[in-house]
Amino acid sequence: MKLETGKGMGMEQTIVLTESELQFYSGTGTVHAVSLGGALDPFTLDHPIRGKKVFEEALTSVGRRLNRRKGCRVLLPDSLVFAKVLSFDKIPFSLNKRDEMIKWKMEAFLPGRVGAFNVQYDISGDSVLVAAMPKSTVLELEEELALLNARCFSLIPESFYYANLFLERERGGNSVLLTNRSRHFSGLVIQNGRVSFVRFRKKIEGVSLKQELDMFSEILGEDMPGRVLLFGEKAEIEAENMGDRWLQ
């Protein structure tokens, strides 16, 4: 199993690891939400599993409901992943040179050497969407996910999953995708059919969703798409009077 950016959404079973009950847009297929509470700490990057027994019981329960003949994907809290869109004047054709150049740029924003991370990237024109997770975290999750007794092939940040669902429906679309969770939020900007900006971070007490969008707008300026799609804890979104702008 490896970290993925979500390209190729053909699998029919999706497992979502989450801290709390959530609103989830699944596209097609079956979704199993694994509500782990404090058993999963989305801000402890090296060893996020805090309650091993609770974690294992939840996975075993979900495993009984899976179709063993079908593959599945596992969606992670975005806060466990380092993600960024890198820009280049020219991307080398050689795979080795390309990997070397991308990893060299990643050294600037990762909290450690690139070699300690599981890295995945997608190239679109002169930009590269990269995602990285500590190898220790991937290994820890793999060991526990074996309890599902099913063929789970990929770990995907939740917001990347939404982005790819959006792009499958609107290949040249423009939108801000905001994922709201109890302790963190994620924002992806899609312009002309590709992810152009990514922001994952811990929530700041007292900062509302509307304020988060205002900050997005200030950062992006005139490049800010007018359309906003919201995912996550719907009650909080409704309390912000953001309107019912869910991806349908």
pTM, to two decimals: 0.78
The residue extents of the domains of the chain are 2-80+134-163, 82-132, 167-239
Phi, psi of 2 (to 5 degrees): -140, 160
Render each residue's pLDDT in the chain as its tens digit; 248 residues: 456 666 655 556 777 777 665 555 555 566 777 777 667 776 777 778 877 888 788 778 877 777 777 777 888 888 888 899 988 888 878 888 888 888 888 888 888 888 888 888 888 888 888 888 888 888 888 888 777 776 766 788 888 888 888 887 777 778 888 887 777 888 888 888 888 888 888 878 888 777 877 887 888 887 788 788 877 665 344 434 444 443 33
The top-level CATH class assigned to 167-239 is alpha beta
Provide the pairing of β-strand 72-76 with 152-157: parallel
- CA distances to 19, 43, 61, 116, 119 from 49, rounded to whole Å, are 11, 10, 17, 19, 21
